[in-house]
């Protein structure tokens, strides 16, 4: 049977009798007996197609709310509520719900499923299925003193990761002696078991030291020989390309002798994976000096390779499209807990509705196709490569946020209450509206200037080993700066799942295109047939009073009111402006003038101010490197500007203590101090260093003869272009005689 549809013609005719109702499945504990309560505003007795008898106990339906994630990737809850008048026996004064609440077995209301359904008289005549308007889990209820109960139901994501559920940190699995035995080092027990997506490698960057870390998990006897096992992943990986011991490539002659690795000579097992007590791993075994160095940390074992593939045993196709990786992560590692064997299936909402899944799989494929349409270059789609758990645990909602940011898409809950994703450019137009459709609004909304962003700094290629730094850059939309007479730096776009230059560039450019104009939001109210327009889709509005002709908007929020049979939409104006979306590359930390991250030295006392990049996960420093052409001076990422009031500090000089290093002694690093009060000019150059560990030097800047206020910035260049080594610098500064 077809699912019923609500149309404009029905509404205009006024003949449609709308009958929404609530279904609440109260499941007892421990027996599990289910009592299905069906409540409507007005009682009616249907045939079983539409759920039999509904009792007229709904005092109000509340609002059914769905919204897309916000600009920062935060998922907004999809929820609904309703108020029920208890069926009170006028003689006994006891209500059925009140009795259920006080009964030992039926008092468990939390996390029970509630649905809202509706059908009209046209649908009944056609024997259609009722439309399910919302599904959710009871996350709160409260009884008022007048035998009325107020329920709130949330989407399953909020329900599973709500304050009632423990905070889920990912990866879920941790290294344990259950799987690895007593030789698992104490320090490694409880560490997250990594999940590796995509191709993680530093070979194309010319570094070739291994981008995938390993964790020592203890000893194993193989053919009467004791080997030391190192885990690269808590699942099967597709393949490895190279292995390294302390950044030195392990030669082919050592495989089968001192190293056993899947896919390499001497691997003694039929499968590329190892199953240990119900869990699947990718392990590599070492012995001799290789093992000693890796265990002691003097020569860590790293690798380059490919992670999760489509089957679960290493034989399938590498999953390297970011949205498909996101989907795979959600199914196997966030909403479920993969252990071993084949990958898990999309979870269903409940056994009562086995065809309704919790995740809209097709939407992730659509986002993948949207990326293809963007023609990013490279492999032709958004290529992702990341390791979940390499840098510790991440809270589940943060993982979802990262997925949305890296896919450059919005997330939310569709009309089946399944989690779905959607892009701006991939959304389709579903309806044209005019004055005959709009009950209220549009509420005029001025552009929100806080949402303007015409400099988009972005970072990708996040390092998982100490041998590689992240890359960074920024996109600047000059036309936006000119049009709005303001240069606004957006928050850093952290593309932690991306290790591909063209993918990062495409992502940043689409963010730039979206933020080049401030956001315009509006609200309209339409009749019930608006509920069929999917969240994230586009509508076109023609209004004479606004001089709008098929003006395009995207639906970012839907609120259905069953008390008034209206749908309130929050819509975002998608109409193109004359502001060109063309961007240019600017340094990651490009600023004009004194920004909020600069500071002023106080010469009345000797002040030391730190200005340097964030520490790397390994505990070192100077994380953000650059690779300028020799002779080209570039700003050091993350370094802040330093303002000196020379007139307030007579007789003082400025001493910049600079720590610089290079990735390769063949390419020297040369730090410099620039005066950026006006156009950037070199104030003082430092000495070239070929040290691969941070080496200190002092760059002295004498007080200028004319004094005044000056702003200084740390720059760096390379001594040669011999190879692809990056250079790093950090700096402190003080005034002293």
Partner 1 sequence: MANAWYSRWSDNVLRKVTPTMPVGALLSSNFPLTHLVDEAPASLCRLSGTTCRFVWDKGIATKIDWATIVQHNLDAGLSGVLFQGNASDSWGAPSLSAAFTIPSADADGFRINPRLDLTGIGSRTFRYWSLTVSVANSSALSFGEIMAFGTKRVQTPNVSWEVETQEERAVVHMPTKAGAGGAYDEGVWQRELTGEVDCSDAEATELRTWYRDARGTARVFAYVPDGDVNDAWIVKFGMPLRRRWSFLDRNLYQFRLVEAARGINVE
Q: How many CB atoms lie within 10 A of CB 270?
A: 5
CA distance 217 to 281: 11
Phi/psi at 289 (5° precision):
-60, -35
Q: Which residues contact 462 (CB under 8 A, 6 or more apart)?
A: 386, 391, 470, 494, 496, 499
Minimal distance, residue 408 CB to partner 1, in Å: 36
Minimal distance, residue 439 CB to partner 1, in Å: 6
Within positions 55 to 84, which residues make up the interface with partner 1, using CB under 8 A? 55-56
Please confirm whether the linkage preceding 442 is cis (ω < 30° from 0). yes
For partner 1, which stretch binds (CB under 8 A), given 3-11, 139-147, 160-168, 677-685? 3-11
- Of 1, 3, 15, 448, which one interacts with partner 1 (CB under 8 A)? 15
- Does 181 contact partner 1 by CB under 8 A? no
Minimal distance, residue 134 CB to partner 1, in Å: 18
- Of 223, 317, 436, 596, which one interacts with partner 1 (CB under 8 A)? 436
Minimal distance, residue 13 CB to partner 1, in Å: 7
Minimal distance, residue 7 CB to partner 1, in Å: 10
Minimal distance, residue 126 CB to partner 1, in Å: 14
Beta bridge partners of 55: 39
Q: Contact 658/730 with Cβ under 8 angstroms?
A: yes
- Of 16, 86, 154, 160, which one interacts with partner 1 (CB under 8 A)? 16
Within positions 491 to 550, which residues make up the interface with partner 1, using CB under 8 A? 527-528, 543, 545
Minimal distance, residue 591 CB to partner 1, in Å: 47
Q: Which is nearer to partner 1, 91 or 224 (CB)?
A: 91
CA distances from 354 to 100, 109, 224, 346, 347 (A): 28, 22, 50, 11, 9
What are the structure tokens assigned to 537, written together?
């889709």
CA distance 462 to 470: 5
**Residue 252 carries which DSSP code?**
G
- Does 352 contact partner 1 by CB under 8 A? no
- Does 13 contact partner 1 by CB under 8 A? yes
Written as one string, the DSSP assignment of 84-101 is EE--B-TTT--BHHHHHH
Minimal distance, residue 54 CB to partner 1, in Å: 8
For partner 1, which stretch binds (CB under 8 A), given 8-16, 24-32, 233-241, 574-582? 8-16
Q: Which is nearer to partner 1, 58 or 421 (CB)?
A: 58
Q: Which is nearer to partner 1, 440 or 610 (CB)?
A: 440
- Does 457 contact partner 1 by CB under 8 A? no
CA distance 137 to 677: 59
Q: Which is nearer to partner 1, 56 or 293 (CB)?
A: 56
Minimal distance, residue 559 CB to partner 1, in Å: 16
Minimal distance, residue 53 CB to partner 1, in Å: 5
Q: Which is nearer to partner 1, 38 or 475 (CB)?
A: 38
Q: Contact 244/302 with Cβ under 8 angstroms?
A: yes
Total length of the chain: 737
- Does 18 contact partner 1 by CB under 8 A? yes
Q: Which is nearer to partner 1, 104 or 544 (CB)?
A: 544
Q: Which is nearer to partner 1, 98 or 181 (CB)?
A: 98
- Of 124, 147, 287, 523, which one interacts with partner 1 (CB under 8 A)? 124
Q: Which is nearer to partner 1, 532 or 734 (CB)?
A: 532
Within positions 546 to 605, which residues make up the interface with partner 1, using CB under 8 A? 564-566
Q: Contact 316/240 with Cβ under 8 angstroms?
A: no
- What angle is formed at CA 456 by the lines to CA 454 and CA 462, rounded to 5 degrees? 180
Q: Compute, in degrees rounded to 10, the torsion defined by CA atoms 233, 239, 244, 248.
A: -150
Beta bridge partners of 721: none
What are the structure tokens assigned to 259, written together?
């190293």
Phi/psi at 118 (5° precision):
-155, 145
In Å, how far from its chain's centre is CA 140?
A: 28
Minimal distance, residue 635 CB to partner 1, in Å: 54
Site string for partner 1, 88-107 (x = CB under 8 A): --x-----------------
- Of 1, 3, 12, 289, which one interacts with partner 1 (CB under 8 A)? 12
Minimal distance, residue 23 CB to partner 1, in Å: 12
Written as one string, the DSSP assignment of 620-635 is -S----B-PPTT--EE
Minimal distance, residue 106 CB to partner 1, in Å: 18
For partner 1, which stretch binds (CB under 8 A), given 62-70, 104-112, 357-365, 435-443? 435-443
Q: Which is nearer to partner 1, 167 or 546 (CB)?
A: 546
Site string for partner 1, 36-55 (x = CB under 8 A): --x-xxxxxxxxx---xx-x
What are the structure tokens assigned to 421, written together?
């994703």
Q: Which is nearer to partner 1, 40 or 291 (CB)?
A: 40
CA distance 724 to 570: 49
Minimal distance, residue 87 CB to partner 1, in Å: 8
Pairing of strands 148-154, 259-260: unpaired
CA distance 494 to 490: 11
CA distances from 343 to 122, 187, 309, 366 (A): 44, 30, 10, 21
Q: How many CB atoms lie within 10 A of CB 222?
A: 14
CA distance 382 to 375: 9
- Does 439 contact partner 1 by CB under 8 A? yes
Q: Which is nearer to partner 1, 58 or 324 (CB)?
A: 58
Contact positions vs partner 1 (CB under 8 A): 8, 10-19, 38, 40-48, 52-53, 55-56, 90, 121, 124, 434-440, 527-528, 543, 545, 564-566
């Amino acid at each position: 049977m077809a699912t019923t549809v609500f149309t404009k013609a029905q509404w205009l005719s006024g003949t449609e009798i709308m009958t929404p109702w609530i279904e609440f499945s109260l499941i007892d504990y421990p027996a599990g007996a289910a009592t299905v309560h069906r409540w409507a505003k007005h009682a009616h007795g249907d045939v079983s197609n539409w759920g039999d008898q509904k009792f007229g106990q709904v005092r109000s339906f509340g609002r059914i709310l769905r919204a897309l994630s916000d600009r920062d990737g935060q998922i907004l809850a999809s929820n609904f509520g309703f108020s029920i008048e208890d069926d009170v026996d006028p003689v006994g004064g006891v209500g059925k719900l009140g009795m259920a609440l006080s009964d030992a077995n039926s008092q468990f209301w939390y996390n029970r499923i509630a649905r809202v359904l509706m059908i009209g008289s046209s649908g009944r005549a056609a024997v259609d299925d009722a439309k399910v308007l919302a599904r959710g889990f009871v996350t709160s209820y409260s009884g008022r003193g007048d035998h009325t109960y107020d329920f709130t139901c949330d989407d399953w994501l909020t329900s599973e990761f709500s304050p009632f559920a423990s905070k889920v940190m990912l990866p879920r699995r941790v290294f344990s002696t259950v799987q690895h035995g007593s030789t698992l080092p104490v320090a490694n027990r409880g560490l997250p078991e990594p999940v590796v997506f995509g191709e993680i490698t530093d070979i194309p960057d010319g570094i070739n030291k291994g981008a995938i870390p390993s964790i020592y998990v203890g000893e194993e006897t193989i053919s009467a020989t004791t080997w030391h096992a190192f885990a690269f992943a808590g699942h099967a990986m597709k393949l490895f390309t190279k292995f390294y011991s302390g950044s030195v490539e392990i030669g082919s002659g050592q495989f089968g002798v001192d190293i056993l690795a899947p896919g390499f000579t001497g691997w003694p097992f039929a499968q590329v994976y190892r199953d240990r007590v119900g869990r699947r791993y990718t392990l590599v075994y070492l012995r001799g000096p290789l093992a000693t160095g890796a265990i002691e940390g003097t020569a860590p074992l790293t690798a380059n390779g490919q992670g999760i593939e489509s089957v679960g045993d290493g034989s399938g196709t590498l999953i390297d499209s970011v949205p498909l990786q996101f989907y795979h992560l959600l199914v196997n590692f966030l909403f479920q807990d993969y252990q071993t064997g084949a990958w898990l299936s999309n979870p269903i909402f409940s056994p009562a509705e086995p065809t309704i899944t919790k995740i809209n799989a097709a939407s992730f494929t659509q986002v993948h196709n949207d990326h293809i349409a963007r023609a990013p270059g490279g492999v032709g789609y958004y290529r992702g490569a990341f390791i979940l758990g390499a840098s510790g645990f991440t809270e589940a909602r943060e993982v979802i946020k990262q997925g949305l940011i890296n896919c450059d898409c919005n997330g939310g809950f569709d009309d089946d209450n399944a989690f779905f994703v959607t892009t701006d450019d991939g959304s389709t137009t579903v309806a044209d509206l005019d004055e005959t459709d709009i009950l209220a609004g549009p509420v005029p909304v001025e552009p929100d200037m806080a949402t303007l962003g015409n400099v988009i700094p972005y970072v990708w290629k996040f390092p998982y080993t100490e041998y590689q730094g992240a890359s960074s850059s920024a996109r600047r939309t000059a036309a936006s700066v000119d049009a709005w007479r303001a240069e606004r730096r957006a928050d850093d776009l952290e593309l932690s799942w991306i290790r591909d230059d063209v993918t990062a560039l495409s992502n940043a450019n689409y963010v730039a295109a979206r933020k080049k104009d401030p956001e315009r939001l509006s609200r309209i109210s339409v009749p019930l047939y608006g509920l069929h327009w999917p969240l994230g889709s586009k509508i076109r509005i023609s209004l004479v009073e606004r001089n709008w002709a098929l003006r395009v908007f995207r639906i970012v929020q839907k609120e259905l009111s069953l008390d008034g049979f209206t749908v309130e939409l929050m819509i975002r104006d998608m109409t193109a402006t004359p502001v060109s979306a063309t961007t240019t590359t600017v340094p990651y930390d490009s600023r004009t003038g004194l920004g909020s991250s600069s500071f002023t030295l106080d010469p009345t006392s000797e002040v030391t101010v730190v200005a340097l990049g964030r520490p790397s996960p390994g505990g070192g420093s100077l994380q953000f490197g650059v690779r300028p052409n020799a002779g080209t001076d570039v700003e050091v990422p993350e370094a802040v500007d330093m303002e000196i009031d020379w007139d307030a500090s007579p007789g003082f000089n400025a001493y910049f203590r600079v720590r610089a290093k290079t990735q390769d002694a063949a390419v020297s690093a040369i730090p410099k101090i620039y005066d950026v009060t006006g156009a950037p000019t070199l104030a003082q150059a430092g000495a070239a260093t070929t040290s691969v560990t941070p080496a200190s030097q002092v760059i002295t800047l004498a007080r200028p003869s004319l004094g005044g206020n000056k702003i200084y910035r740390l720059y760096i260049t390379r001594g040669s272009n011999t190879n692809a080594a990056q250079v790093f610098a950090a700096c402190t500064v003080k005034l002293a005689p």
